[in-house]
């Protein structure tokens, strides 16, 4: 929980964190607690604390703990680096005995407060559902954070969005046998319960067969779990207003199919539904913020498993669009699911713009690393808007090119198109995007390859701990609000 107060009181909280840059170190600290003010100002005027990046000086004033935390030079301090530093501060074991924490920012600006909220709400998140051992809480995750700043309505919205980011993370982090396509449908129905101003369409296996979702059903052939396509038509704007559509890839687990993934590449493949999780998180945020726009939220959910019925390399399948696809590799399955869902959403709902999110290619991770999603688009205006929202929310993205020659790389001799490139190791992210491009027609469309950004397979990255990051929720919400 985060609360705001106009000045540092230091009466209820048991610990105080004072953020100090090298430039703000000379400023005089004021508090109603005289002993605290004296101790802090003495430390600030001494040579023992310079306010350097990550520098820490704990002070014990009576029974109260004060932690001076250095941010370094303000000219070098970005909002992203501030989030990273704050997460580190919030993870300190110093707060073991503290009931609440009071935090004094180095400046009371909206951007700084937003970074503090993100660092607390997102940075202290941890997936602990299956940990049975009791461990003493040494972080501020379950403590009230009192931020010394003027209260603004937008801060409450940021907290709501952060909660929806963490919902997406929960969905990705849980066991793949729990977070099935049917479970994702149930989650959406739970979000919609008691709400109005929407229409829900759910396509189960029977309906998918009737509507000829041949590509999605091919991917799911080897799975015992049922597939789903879930579409929510959110009617927050005027009837004449156009719709923007968001489509998520929802592979609840990806073994690679008969082109089986090797050890070291399969263990975290519950993350392959991160695009669908982001769409679900953004759906929840849209209702909570009561956004007055018309939006389509959609995802296709399936499992790429193996049995005697599994689809095979070399097979040809017909998608919803009527286009035939040769299977070059069964581990290039996400684009097949997306192709059917994109085709259907565009055909049935006629959105003015479409954005898809998918953990699609390892090639994107090789090209851009794990801090930037790859953005590919057939529309410059839409791409620019996404990049602006990526910059504003720190859901980072970098645009990659699309060009006519990419079509030649996915030609098939036996079908209309192939789901993999004919040139091994060449432009894997862009040929995957070009494959999707063939199913959107002239509709302005953008594809976000979030393979690197959606999951942390290690101790931490940026201000995220191990596991899902919820990438895309903040970006989608910002893009909706600004569109």
> Looking at residue 49, what is its pLDDT?
87
d(CA 128, CA 201): 33
**DSSP reduced 3-state for 145:** strand
Q: Are residues 48 and 111 in the same domain?
A: yes
Q: Are residues 20 and 147 in the same domain?
A: yes
Q: Are residues 247 and 396 in the same domain?
A: yes
How many Cα atoms sit within 13 Å of 477 on the Cβ side?
Answer: 29
Q: Are residues 171 and 235 in the same domain?
A: yes
Query: At a CB cut-off of 8 Å and minimum separation 6, what does 416 contact?
Result: 323, 324, 325
Tell me how far CA of residue 114 lies from CA of 15, 79, 117, 286, 398, in angstroms.
Answer: 21, 9, 5, 19, 23
Helix (H) or strand (E) holding 235: strand 228-235
Predicted confidence (pLDDT) per residue in 85-97, tens digit:
999 888 888 877 7
Q: Are residues 303 and 333 in the same domain?
A: yes
Q: Are residues 138 and 181 in the same domain?
A: no
Provide the phi-psi class of 342: left if phi over 0, else alpha when psi is between -120 and 50, else beta. Answer: alpha
Residue (of 15, 94, 137, 79) closest to 463 by Cα position: 79
Contact 17, 120 (CB under 8 A): no
Q: Are residues 210 and 292 in the same domain?
A: yes
Q: What is the CATH number of the domain that holds 177?
A: 3.40.630.10
Q: Are residues 228 and 357 in the same domain?
A: yes
Name the domain boundary from 108, 129, 151. Answer: 151
Domain membership of residue 187 as a residue range: 158-482
> Looking at residue 99, what is its pLDDT?
77
d(CA 155, CA 121): 12
The DSSP-derived string for 70-91 is EEE-GGG--HHHHHHHHHHHHT
**DSSP reduced 3-state for 8:** coil
Q: Are residues 136 and 242 in the same domain?
A: no
Q: Are residues 233 and 139 in the same domain?
A: no
Query: At a CB cut-off of 8 Å and minimum separation 6, what does 174 contact?
Result: 129, 270
Name the domain count of the chain: 2
> Looking at residue 459, what is its pLDDT?
80
Task: Using DSSP bridges, classify how beta strands 464-468 and 455-461 pair: parallel, antiparallel or unpaired.
Answer: antiparallel
Q: Are residues 182 and 310 in the same domain?
A: yes
Q: Are residues 125 and 180 in the same domain?
A: no
Lookup result for tokens 């903040």: 474
Dihedral sign, Cα of residue 344, residue 349, residue 351, residue 356: negative
d(CA 305, CA 220): 7
Predicted confidence (pLDDT) per residue in 151-170, tens digit:
888 999 999 999 999 999 99
Predicted confidence (pLDDT) per residue in 255-298, tens digit:
999 999 999 999 999 999 999 999 999 999 999 999 999 999 99
Share of residues in the chain with pLDDT > 90 (%): 75
d(CA 252, CA 181): 7
> Looking at residue 320, what is its pLDDT?
98
Active-site residue numbers? Answer: 261, 335
Q: DSSP label at 40?
A: H
Output the CA torsion 19→24→25→28 (10° steps).
-100
Mean pLDDT over each residue of the chain, to the nearest integer? 92
Q: What is the CATH number of the domain that holds 98?
A: 3.40.220.10
Name the pTM for this structure.
Answer: 0.95
Strand partners, 304: 254
| Residue 314 phi, psi dihedral angles, 5° rounding | 95, -20
Predicted confidence (pLDDT) per residue in 299-354, tens digit:
999 999 999 999 999 999 999 999 999 999 999 999 999 999 999 999 999 999 99
């Amino acid at each position: 929980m985060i609360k705001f107060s106009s000045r540092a009181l230091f009466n209820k909280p048991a610990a105080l964190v004072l953020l100090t840059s090298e430039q703000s170190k000379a400023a005089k600290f004021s508090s109603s607690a005289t002993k605290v003010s004296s101790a802090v100002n003495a430390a600030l005027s001494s040579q023992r604390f310079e306010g350097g990046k990550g520098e820490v000086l704990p002070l014990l004033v009576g029974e109260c703990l004060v932690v001076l935390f250095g941010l370094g030079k303000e000219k070098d301090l970005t909002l992203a680096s501030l989030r990273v530093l704050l997460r580190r501060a919030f993870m300190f074991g110093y707060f073991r005995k503290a009931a609440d924490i009071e935090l004094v920012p180095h400046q009371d600006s909206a951007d700084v407060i937003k970074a503090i909220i993100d660092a607390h709400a997102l940075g202290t998140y941890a997936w602990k559902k299956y940990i049975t051992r009791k461990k003493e809480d040494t972080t501020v995750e379950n403590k009230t954070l009192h931020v010394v700043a003027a209260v603004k309505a937008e801060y409450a919205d940021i907290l709501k969005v952060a909660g929806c980011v963490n919902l997406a993370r929960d969905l990705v982090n849980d066991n793949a046998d729990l977070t099935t396509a049917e479970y994702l449908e149930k989650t959406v129905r739970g979000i919609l319960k008691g709400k109005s101003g929407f229409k829900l369409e759910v396509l189960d296996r029977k309906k998918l067969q009737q509507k000829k979702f041949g590509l999605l059903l091919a991917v799911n052939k080897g799975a015992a779990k049922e597939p789903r396509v879930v579409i929510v038509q959110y009617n927050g704007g005027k009837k004449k207003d156009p719709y923007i559509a968001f489509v998520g890839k929802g592979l609840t687990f990806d073994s690679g199919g008969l082109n089986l993934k090797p050890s070291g590449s399969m263990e975290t493949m519950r993350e392959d539904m991160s695009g669908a999780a982001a769409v679900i998180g953004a759906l929840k945020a849209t209702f909570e913020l009561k956004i007055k726009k018309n939006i389509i939220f959609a995802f296709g959910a399936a499992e790429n498993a193996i049995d005697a019925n599994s689809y095979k390399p070399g097979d040809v399948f017909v998608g919803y669009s009527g286009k035939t696809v040769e299977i070059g590799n069964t581990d290039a399955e996400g684009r097949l699911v997306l192709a059917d869902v994109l085709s259907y959403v565009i055909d049935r709902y006629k959105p003015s713009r479409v954005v898809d999110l998918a953990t699609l290619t390892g090639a994107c991770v090789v090209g851009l690393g794990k801090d930037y999603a790859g953005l590919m688009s057939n529309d410059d205006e839409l791409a620019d808007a996404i990049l602006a929202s990526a910059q504003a929310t720190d859901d980072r993205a970098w645009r990659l090119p699309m060009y006519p020659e990419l079509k030649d790389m996915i030609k098939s001799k036996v079908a209309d198109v192939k789901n993999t490139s004919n040139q091994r190791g060449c432009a894997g992210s862009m040929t995957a995007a070009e494959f999707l491009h063939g199913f959107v027609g002239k509709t302005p469309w953008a594809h976000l390859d979030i393979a690197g950004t959606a999951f942390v397979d290690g101790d931490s990255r940026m201000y995220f701990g191990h596991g899902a990051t919820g990438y895309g929720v903040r970006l989608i919400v910002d893009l909706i609000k600004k569109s």
